[in-house]
Amino acid sequence: MRDGLPEGLASLAGFQLSKCGWWLEQRLEEELEPLGIRVRHFLVLAMLSTSETLSQQEMADCLLLDPTLMVGLVDDLEARGLCERTRDPRDRRRYRVRATEDGRALHRRARTLADEVGAEVFGPLSDDELSTVVRAIGRVMEPFWAEQALHPRRKR
Amino acid sequence: MRDGLPEGLASLAGFQLSKCGWWLEQRLEEELEPLGIRVRHFLVLAMLSTSETLSQQEMADCLLLDPTLMVGLVDDLEARGLCERTRDPRDRRRYRVRATEDGRALHRRARTLADEVGAEVFGPLSDDELSTVVRAIGRVMEPFWAEQALHPRRKR
DNA sequence: TATTGTTATACTCTATAACTATA
DNA sequence: TATAGTTATAGAGTATAACAATA
C-alpha cells in the first residue's frame, strides 16, 4: 500500500462497508476477550436480553449460523451459568433458552464495550451523520431480514 | 425468527453493518459466478484497474489477506490472461503485477454487476441518503487504512 | 414423514513454517 | 540479516450426514 487505497478499491462502497463491519467485529472481539466470551456469545446474549426465551433454531436463523454451531455456543454460555435450557412444554423437541441474571449482567457490560467500540470507529462522524447512517443501514436490512425469516440462509 | 429480529440484535449498529457487508458480498459472489471469478479476483482487478502495477505484497495489505493467498489469486488471473507478472527491475524480488486489456474489460463488466448489486441492496435509500452513507463510511475508514499502511494486519 | 437438537466426520479455508532468490 | 514470493502442511472453522426424540 504505497500511497493509500487504490481508487478502484476505495470507490467500491461494498468493499469499504464490508471492511468496516470486519473492523468493528475485530475490535469488539479484542474488547470481549477479558470477559471470556467471543462476539458470537455476545450476540446470543443480546438476543436473549430482549426476548425472554428463544429456540436454538430461531437464534441460528437470526445470526445466519448453522444450527449445529448453536449447540456449542449455548453449551458455553450454560456452562458459565449465563443462560439455561428448559424444554418447551408445547413442543418437547425445542429448548426454551433463557438468559440468567448473570447472563443479563454480562450482556450489559459487553454492550457497553460494543458501544465504546462503535463510538471509536464512528468517531469521525457528527451525531447527525451517525444517526443517518445507522437508520439507513437499518432500513436497508429490513427486506433482508424479512426474506431471511421466510427462507433462512446460512454460512458465516 | 418468530417476529423479526430481536431488538437486542437490531439495535446493534455493528451487527447490522456487518451483515449488510456480508449480504453485499454474497450477492456479488452470485453475480460474478457466470464470469468465472470470485469477489476476491474482482477486488484484485479493481486495484490493478487504477494502479498500473502493484506488488503482491501491496495487494495483500489492501485486501487484508495473507500474502500466501495472493499467489493463487494472481495465478488464477494470469492463467486466464487477465493479468501478467513481470519482475520489478529495481527490486528483482518483487513482481510488478499489471492488468491486461482482457483483465480491464472483465473488470468493467464485474464493476457493472457490483454497482447493480449496490443499487439493489441500497434501493430503499434516497440518493441523498446513499451518498451520505457512502461518504460517511469512506471517512470512517480513513484512519483504518492509514493505520493499515503502517502496521498491516491480516486475517479474513 | 418432518423437525429440533446432537454428535461425529469430512471439507474448506487460512495461517505457519520452511525454502529460494534477491536485497 | 531482512524481504518478496512460493510451496507444503497443519490448524481452525464450517458444513454434512446420520441419529434420537418428538411432532
Does B93 reside within a domain? yes
The answer for residues whose C-beta is within 8 angstroms of residue B58's C-beta and 6 or more apart is: A1, A2
Reported as a single tens digit per residue, the pLDDT across A48-103 is: 999 999 999 999 999 999 999 999 999 999 999 999 999 999 999 999 999 999 99
Sign of CA dihedral A18, A23, A26, A28: negative
Residue B103's alpha-carbon distances to A12, B66, B81, in angstroms, are 18, 23, 7
Count of pairs with CB atoms under 8 A, one residue in A, one in B? 193
Q: Which pLDDT does position A15 carry in this prediction?
A: 98
**How many Å lie between the alpha carbon of B130 and the closest alpha carbon of chain A?**
8
A97 has a chain B CB within 8 A of its CB: no
CA angle A46, A113, A51 (to 5 degrees): 10
Does A156 reside within a domain? no
**Average pLDDT for chain A:** 96
Query: How many domains does chain B fold into?
Result: 1
Task: State, as a whole number of angstroms, the distance between the CA of A127 and the C1' of C1.
Answer: 55
Closest nucleotide C1' to the C-alpha of B67: D5
Across the interface, which of A17, A22, A114 has its CB nearest the CB of B137?
Answer: A17
**Average pLDDT for chain B:** 96
Q: Which pLDDT does position A4 carry in this prediction?
A: 85
Reported as a single tens digit per residue, the pLDDT across B56-113 is: 999 999 999 999 999 999 999 999 999 999 999 999 999 999 999 999 999 999 999 9
Does A87 reside within a domain? yes
Which residues in chain B are closer than 8 Å to A55, comparing Cβ atoms? Answer: none
Q: Which pLDDT does position B111 carry in this prediction?
A: 98
Q: Which pLDDT does position A128 carry in this prediction?
A: 97
Does B27 reside within a domain? yes
Does B55 reside within a domain? yes
Helical ranges in chain B per DSSP H: 7-10, 13-32, 39-49, 56-63, 67-79, 101-121, 127-150
Strand D and A1 CB separated by under 7 Å: no
**How many Å lie between the alpha carbon of A129 and the closest alpha carbon of chain B?**
7
Does B5 reside within a domain? no
Does A13 reside within a domain? no
CATH number at A63 reads 1.10.10.10
**Interchain CB distance below 8 Å, A137 and B17:** yes
* Mean pLDDT for the stretch of residues A2-6: 85
**How many Å lie between the alpha carbon of A119 and the closest alpha carbon of chain B?**
11
Which residues in chain A are closer than 8 Å to B143, comparing Cβ atoms? Answer: 124
B30 has a chain A CB within 8 A of its CB: no
pLDDT band at residue A151 using 50, 70 and 90 as cut-offs: confident
Q: Which pLDDT does position A154 carry in this prediction?
A: 72
Reported as a single tens digit per residue, the pLDDT across B18-71 is: 999 999 999 999 999 999 999 999 999 999 999 999 999 999 999 999 999 999
> Which domain covers residue B129, as residue numbers?
21-150
CA dihedral B143, B11, A22, A132 (to 10 degrees): -40
pLDDT band at residue A156 using 50, 70 and 90 as cut-offs: low
Closest nucleotide C1' to the C-alpha of B94: D4
Cβ-7 Å neighbors of strand C: A 55-57, 67-68, 70-71, 74-75, 85, 91, 93-95; B 65-66, 68-69, 90-93, 154-156
Q: Which pLDDT does position A153 carry in this prediction?
A: 77
Task: Measure the CA–CA gap between A38 and A35, rounded to whole angstroms.
Answer: 9
Q: Which pLDDT does position B155 carry in this prediction?
A: 66
Does A7 reside within a domain? no
Q: Per CA to C1' distance, which residue is closest to C21?
A: B93
